Amino acid sequence: MVSISLFILGALISTVISQECVPYTSSYDFTGYPEIWEKPNSTLFNSAEFKQINSTIDWSKVPKVTPHTLSSSGDIDQTGYSSSDPDCWWSYNLCTTPKAHGLQPDATICPEPGAWGLTYDDGPNCSHTVFYDFLKENNQKATLFYIGSNVAQLPNEAQRGLADGHHICVHTWSHQYMTTLTNDEALAELYYARKAIKYVMGITPLCWRPPFGDVDDRIRAIATQLNMSTIIWDLDTNDWNEAPDGTETSAQVDTTFQGFVNMGLNGTYNNSGTIVLEHELDNNTMSKAIEWYPKIKAAYKYLVPIASCLNITQPYAEANFTYPSFAEYISNG
């Protein structure tokens, strides 16, 4: 158990955001990790630990793709990329079936008709108490894609996600566009995020989601060698893009959610299900998640975490953690 001050314990059980979000210190020691929210750099690459990890990767199985660059606006520059999409680059045309040998397709849907795969990216967030309480009251599990830097800064919040029975996947160390990274950087983003999760939570997730969906066969091949399968999505709520941080109004985000509810009602998902992207990013996104949950539940047959929708009953390397299969999950809900 982490030693934390009583004051902090008070903050943790608070549902007042300003109190929840008071920074705290834990006894976890992140020496040897990348800087919080920073891209791993050469100091780290020269460490004995990284060299050892690097030596376990068979780089001959990783396609030789030159990293992309960011444009001045902060998006990926796609200039000059071949329209034949040789690298199965999701950011280019949403490709999810790899072209390189030996790579599994990304998961993009829950196969079961009427199933809505519930996923929240970017946690753990300091202000998630109300949201996690809500999921718990509804006996609802979700797949949570945790950012390593957030896990390091908020270990107690991360532990709650696992303790509540959610399915935890990796969302990299510092949320970069992965295809813009060198091989060393990409490996470190995945490796240290998962190491932080193992250190704080005791589990080794076998799944990850690329920030911004930005993945290609080079990055998939690195993740594959770390035994991490790639999970994308099929519907994007754009909840992260609400003003003031984003460009959409609250009403626009509602319109998107309403469209997805309509799809559940009008038969769009009669033959297979969906995986939906939402965020544990801030009060806006978590409030939207809570507000729309009852309407989604009424419009879809099943709301399921990804492990269950794919029948993955051992989602971590630690075989003693088991999760319900699809049939078990729905018979319990």
Ligand X SMILES: *[C@@H]1O[C@H](CO)[C@@H](O)[C@H](O)[C@H]1NC(C)=O
Residues that bind ligand X (CB under 6 A): 17, 21, 34-35, 41, 43-45, 51, 54, 59, 111, 125-127, 150, 184, 202, 226-227, 259, 262-263, 266-268, 270, 281-283, 287, 310-311, 318, 320-321, 325-327
Cα–Cα distance, 329 to 308 (Å, whole number): 7
Please say whether the beta carbons of 108 and 233 come within 8 A: yes
How is residue 11 written in tokens? 């903050």
92 versus 168: smaller Cβ distance to ligand X: 168
CB of 327 to ligand X, least distance (A): 5
Between CA 117 and CA 229, with CA 135 as vertex, the angle to 5 degrees is 35
Cα–Cα distance, 54 to 57 (Å, whole number): 5
85 versus 184: smaller Cβ distance to ligand X: 184
CB of 31 to ligand X, least distance (A): 9
Cα–Cα distance, 110 to 107 (Å, whole number): 8
Selecting among 106, 171, 279, 282, the annotated active-site residue is 279
Q: Is 282 a catalytic residue?
A: no
Cα–Cα distance, 129 to 220 (Å, whole number): 33
CA-closest candidate to residue 135, choices 284, 293, 327: 293
Selecting among 87, 121, 217, 234, the annotated active-site residue is 121
73 versus 320: smaller Cβ distance to ligand X: 320
Q: Are strands 115-123 and 274-279 parallel, antiparallel or unpaired?
A: parallel
- Tell me if residue 73 falls in helix, strand or coil: coil
20 versus 92: smaller Cβ distance to ligand X: 20
Q: Is 121 a catalytic residue?
A: yes
Q: Are strands 76-77 and 69-70 parallel, antiparallel or unpaired?
A: antiparallel
Phi and psi at 281, nearest 5°, equal -100, -45
CB of 82 to ligand X, least distance (A): 25
How is residue 277 written in tokens? 């992207």
82 versus 319: smaller Cβ distance to ligand X: 319
User: What stretch of H or E contains 267?
Assistant: none
Residue 220 CA to chain centroid, in angstroms?
Answer: 15
Cα–Cα distance, 183 to 65 (Å, whole number): 10
133 versus 318: smaller Cβ distance to ligand X: 318
For the annotated catalytic residues, the residue numbers are 121, 279
